[in-house]
Each structure stands twice: as C-alpha cells, then as structure tokens.
Amino acid sequence: MGLISRMSTVIKSKVNDLLNRAEDPRQTMDYAYQRQLEHLRDVRRGIVEVVAARRRLELQAAELKQNTSKLDDQARRALAAGREDLARLALERKQAALQQIQSLDPQIAELEQQQEKLSETEQRLTAKVEAFRTQKEVIKAQYSAAEAQVKIGESLTGLSEEMADVGMAVDRAQEKTQQLQARAGAIDELVSAGTLEEIAAPSDTVERELAKITVTQSVDRELEQMKQQLGLPQPQPPRQLKEGE
C-alpha cells in the first residue's frame, strides 16, 4: 500500500466520522458548519500558541547571549586574579551556551514556518467556511429537489475533507509546539542549575568525545587570547615563581 492511498484512507475515515453524526442532511450541514467555526477557532488558538513558543525561544536565546558575555567577564576576572581553573570553567560554560544558542536558531525558524503555514490555513479555511455558509442556505431552501440532495452530499464531503485536513495540520503544529516548549523548559532548568552541557552533548559516545576536544581547543584558544589582552605571561614555559609567591 502506497503513501498516497494510506493518506487518502486516513482523511476519508475522518470524513466518514464527521458525516455519520446526523441523519438529516440539513442537520448535518448545520452541525458541519458549527464544527467548521470551532476548527477556525482551533487554528487561531494554534497560531497564538506557536507565536508564544517562538517568543519564548527568542527570549531564551537572548538570555543565553547575555549569559555568554557574563561568563566571558567572569573568565577575565578569574584570570586577572590568577585563577586559571575558574577561568577555564567559565569558558567551558560559555561554549555550552554558544552551542545551545546555535541549536535554538533552527527551532525558531521552524516555528516561524509553522506560524506562516497556520496563517495560510486560516485564510483558506475562512474562505471555505464562508462559501459553505452560502451554499448551505441555498441548499436548505431547495432541499426537496433531488438535485439538492446530491449537492448536499458533495459539498458536505468536500467540506468535511477540508476539516479533516485542517484538523491534522493543527494537531501537528500543537505537537511541534509542545515538543519545543518541553525543550525550552529543560533548558531553563539547566541554565539556572548552570549545567548546560548535559543538553548540548550529543548522545553518540564518539561524537561526545570529539565535541569535548573541540570545546577544550576553543577554551584553550580563548584563554590564550584573554591572557594576551590582560598582559599576563604566556603559558609555554611553566610560570616561574616570583619572589614572595
């Protein structure tokens, strides 16, 4: 069985569910119209949720950026005070924050896309609902005619299909939003606990080790630069103890 026939079957079974609710086609039409309005509200609520999730991630990215300059400052102060160990720790955290910022960007872009899609869906659905409302009144007025019966069937099926499609789109957007919200919550917790690395670390062992090396290298490089800027001695030869140290 192909993907198309499977997808068509899924939509058709949703359509049948909707159509089997009422016996009198006129009632079914009113019912379908009400459901359609509910769907429109769902779509609008979906847009609000996606926007909220996007704002949250954007805020988080901004906070993380702020965090990196704070950690940078801490590293500088630690170095100036001769605490290279502390400086290294601060820079490692800064690297983790930078990685996190990088992973947030595509997620924000994805939510933007979802928002755009839902807005298009809303426009399309608004037009369909309006068309259906007009048709419904016309059909109800001439219900006795056999031709009208056929029309009821056609437009009801067509509209129900639209509803099934929109319903699936809203479900998908909500699922995505929830996933990203859960992730945003996890980042918030880890940021406040100061252990961002756990999230940023890839699950694969080799990848994790390689990532560690990259982090160590960037931390080393940054330490060198900071030392230069602060006019501190370079580490090549072990630092000689001055008198009184």
Quote the least distance from Cβ 102 to another protein, whole Å: 21
Q: Does 130 participate in binding another protein (rule CB under 8 A)?
A: yes
Can you tell me which of 70, 83, 172, 183 binds another protein, judged by CB under 8 A? Answer: 172
As a whole number of angstroms, the distance between CA 32 and CA 210 comes to: 57
Q: Which of residues 8-47 bind another protein (CB under 8 A)?
A: 8, 10-11
Token pair of 93 as six digits: 């955290």
Quote the least distance from Cβ 112 to another protein, whole Å: 13
What are the residues whose beta carbons fall under 8 Å from the beta carbon of 78, sequence distance 6 or more? 84, 86, 87, 90
As a whole number of angstroms, the distance between CA 162 and CA 36 comes to: 9
As a whole number of angstroms, the distance between CA 109 and CA 114 comes to: 9
As a whole number of angstroms, the distance between CA 99 and CA 218 comes to: 12
* C-beta separation of 187 from 103 below 8 A: no
As a whole number of angstroms, the distance between CA 245 and CA 209 comes to: 37
Q: Residue 132 or 222: which CB sits closer to another protein?
A: 132
Can you tell me which of 124, 143, 174, 216 binds another protein, judged by CB under 8 A? Answer: 124
Q: Does 161 participate in binding another protein (rule CB under 8 A)?
A: yes
Quote the least distance from Cβ 52 to another protein, whole Å: 21
Q: Residue 73 or 120: which CB sits closer to another protein?
A: 120
Question: Which residues lie near another protein (CB under 8 A)?
Answer: 1-8, 10-11, 113, 117, 120-121, 124, 127-128, 130-132, 135, 154-155, 157-159, 161-162, 165, 168-169, 172
